Amino acid sequence: MQRKYAGIGAIVMLLAVSLGAFGAHILEPVIGESAIRTYETGVHYQMIHGIAIILVALSAGLWGESRQLQWANRLFLIGIVLFSGSLYGLAALDWTWLGPVTPLGGISFIAGWLLLALTVWRNKEK
């Protein structure tokens, strides 16, 4: 789990930086200031949760692999796809039907953080 998710986290971050640069240099003049703020929010949350995925992978090395940590990372990935992905679609493609999807991604993020917190609190060894 550690290597797999550390690698996935690195790819998520690579994509976040690439999407951020694309938004700043190519997309902003096309979609306008209001839409680019929405797009940047998607990039911001993708970056935070890319780091979170790496953090969880490192935590598995510290406390041992667990289903909770694995699910925390899965939920972070789901959240990135639903939350950030829907914001990208809303901002860049004007796909307004994606609006109701965004909160589902936020719920995935919250659940992932809760699982990480529970794992930390329950592990009394280190």
Q: pLDDT by residue (tens digit) across 64-81?
A: 889 999 999 999 999 999
Would you say residue 125 has pLDDT above 70? no
Choose among 9, 19, 11: nearest CA to 53.
Answer: 9
- The crossing angle, in degrees rounded to 10, of helices 67-79 and 33-63 is 170
Q: Which domain holds residue 54?
A: 2-122
- Number of independent structural domains in the chain: 1
* Percent of the chain topping pLDDT 70: 98
How far is the C-alpha of 70 from the C-alpha of 56, rounded, in Å?
Answer: 8
How far is the C-alpha of 95 from the C-alpha of 85, rounded, in Å?
Answer: 11
- Residue 82 burial (CB count, 10 A): 20
